[in-house]
Amino acid sequence: MDKEAPYPPGLLQDWLVRNVFVHLYTWQFWLAIAVTVVAFFALLYAMQRFGSAGRRRLTVVCTFLAGFYYALSFFLPPGHTLAGKVIAGTQTYRFEGESTWLRDQPEGAPEDAPPVPAVRHLAGKILLTQPVEDSDAKDQPEPQEGRDFITVEGTQGPDGSWQLTQTTAGGPRPLAAAERGYSVDLNGVAGTLLLNPAPALNVAKAYETPLGNFLMVMGSFTIGLGVINLLMIHGRTLATGGSGWINSLGFFVGFLGMTVFGLWQTLYKVDPADPTIPFAVAGYRFFFDGLLTPLQSTTFALLGFFIVSAAYRAFRIQNTEAALMTIIAFVVMLGSVPLGQLLTAWLPEDGPASLLRLENVANWLLTKPNAAAFRGILFGAATGGFALSLRVWLSLEGGAYLGKEF
């Protein structure tokens, strides 16, 4: 679990980490594993008994719940910002704060001690001057502590009240609770900090990381599926001496070599100053640095040749569209190289005629018509993706993997 989190603890998270996800020892550990294995096979058996229709219903329910969780986590407001105002006489100033949640284990606590409940910290600023929001504004002085803003920090107690301090030239100064707020010192002028009612917290967001990890663990198990698939296909080819058996032999050499040396080399620590390298490390380096990495680079380098052959085919003028594309590509290429830019260098750098300089034409083509078309494609793909997600979430999508055939 993160020691510091930008989101509030999830629903029942503190209870879960203290009572469910706890360290187990000796017989409890083995009992938990046995129960998990039994539960796994019971679930597998139950799913077999469900039949196709039952499994589909289970898939529908699980898909909906998972989608509902992520929708909840997205749509619930973050709630970690806390705003307010400071009233000093007739003047009113804005306060903007952000929360983080910290779990500070006590000094000397054992590593497997259950985590302490998360404590909400607040860090914010009383804005004495209006900040410049124009991002294009240049030469603006950096806001200064004391002159432009005053920093306020603090933690929230179990009863919901805040223990706040403000930063002053003489160090942190605790803010005394006043009627409806906290007393602050605005450079010698007394004021009252009034915090807005705390917004509701997003209690779903915190589970996104653990759920992502769970999915990753599940996914890593499936690498076994891939390995079995490879071993079966190549094993069969090798056993029957089918066509391309030499490739299958290459696969087994590579697979076994990488696996054996990859595991074996973890037993050694190589000292850079020592010229002798253990056999296991040398073997691993041969397979990884000597074979895999150069092969990857070679495949990537082939792209250069393929781009030329693809460009040759694309730029053959066969119809109006192809002709237009070729002309535009020619202009863009010319505008991007010094030689091309030299052709229109005689045109003025400023004024309307400068628009005809090749580099400006190329830039216009890339940033205006090309960008517009690109964004159009992205918009279409995004709406299509949204519609597909909605169909999958509500199990309206066809396909054998959801039990409904076209």
Partner 1 sequence: MQFANWGAWVLLPLFAAAILLCIRHTRRGQELFIRRVPGVDAIEEVVGRAVELGRPVLFSIGLGSVQEMVTLQAISVIGHVAKLAARFRNRVIVPVVDPMTIPVIEEVQREAYLSVGQEGFNPDDVRFLSGDQFAYAAGVVGIMARENVGATFYFGTFYAESLIMAENGQAVGAAQIAATPSANQIPFFLASCDYTIIGEEYYATTALLSGDPVLKGSLVGQDIGKLAMLVLIVLGVVLTTYLGAPPAWLSGFLAPKGG
Q: Is 396 in the site for partner 1 (CB under 8 A)?
A: yes
For residue 47, state whether it binds partner 1 (rule: CB under 8 A).
no
- Applying CB under 8 A, among 106, 226, 241, 275 the residue interacting with partner 1 is 226
123 forms beta bridges with 98, 153
Burial of 77 (0-12, 13-18, 19+ CB in 10 A): exposed
Q: Which of 26, 130, 309, 318 binds partner 1 (CB under 8 A)?
A: 309
Closer to partner 1 by CB, 330 or 379: give it. 379
Answer left, alpha or beta for residue 189, where phi above 0 means left and psi between -120 and 50 means alpha. Answer: beta
Q: In the window 63-82, what residues touch partner 1 (CB under 8 A)?
A: 74-78
User: CB 148 → partner 1: shortest distance, Å?
Assistant: 20
Report the SS3 class of residue 307.
helix
Contact between 378 and partner 1 (CB under 8 A)? yes
Does residue 235 touch partner 1 according to CB under 8 A? Answer: no
Which CB atom, from 96 or from 397, has the smaller least distance to partner 1?
Answer: 397
Of the candidate residues 311, 337, 342, 353, the single one contacting partner 1 (CB under 8 A):
311
Tokens standing for residue 326: 């070729």
Binding pattern for the stretch 313-332 against partner 1, x by CB under 8 A and - elsewhere: xx------------------
131 binds partner 1 (CB under 8 A): no
Contact flag: residue 91 with partner 1 (CB under 8 A): no
207: left (phi over 0), alpha (psi -120 to 50) or beta: alpha
Q: Which is nearer to partner 1, 2 or 145 (CB)?
A: 2
| Token pair belonging to 36 | 């998990």
Indicate the residue among 146 and 399 with the shorter CB distance to partner 1.
399
Give the Cα separation of 268 and 263 in Å (integer): 10
Residues 185-224 that bind partner 1 (CB under 8 A): 202, 205, 215, 219, 222-224
- CB under 8 A: which stretch of 121-129, 159-167, 333-341, 393-401 binds partner 1? 393-401
DSSP bridge partners of 195? 84
Of residues 127, 121, 176, 198, the one with CA closest to residue 154: 121
Give the length of the chain: 406
* Contact stretch for partner 1 (CB under 8 A) within 20-28, 101-109, 332-340, 378-386: 378-386
CB of 390 to partner 1, least distance (A): 6
Q: Which residue has the tokens 């597998």?
A: 44
Give me the least distance between CB of 238 and partner 1, in Å please.
13
The CB-of-397 to partner 1 minimum distance in angstroms stands at 7
Which of 300, 338, 339, 352 touches partner 1 by CB under 8 A? 300
Rule CB under 8 A: say whether 376 interacts with partner 1: yes
Q: Distance between CA atoms of 343 and 335, rounded to whole angstroms?
A: 9
146 binds partner 1 (CB under 8 A): no
Contact flag: residue 52 with partner 1 (CB under 8 A): no
CB of 30 or CB of 386, closer to partner 1: 386
Distance of CA 197 to the CA centre of its chain: 31
Identify each DSSP E strand in 284-390 by its residue range. Answer: none
Q: Which of 50, 214, 330, 374 binds partner 1 (CB under 8 A)?
A: 374
Instruction: Compute the least distance from the CB of residue 10 to partner 1, in Å.
Output: 15
Q: Which is nearer to partner 1, 73 or 166 (CB)?
A: 73
Q: Kindly calculate the radius of gyration of the chain based on its CA atoms and give it in whole angstroms.
A: 32
CB of 114 to partner 1, least distance (A): 28
Applying CB under 8 A, the site for partner 1 has a residue count of 62
- Give burial (CB, 10 Å; 0-12/13-18/19+) of 202: buried
The burial of 383, by beta-carbon neighbours within 10 Å (0-12 exposed, 13-18 middle, 19 or more buried), is given as exposed
Q: Smallest distance, Å, CB 174 to partner 1?
A: 31
What residue ranges bind partner 1 (CB under 8 A)?
74-78, 202, 205, 215, 219, 222-227, 229-230, 232-233, 236, 243-244, 247, 292, 295-296, 299-300, 302-303, 306-307, 309-311, 313-314, 374, 376-381, 383-392, 396-401, 405-406
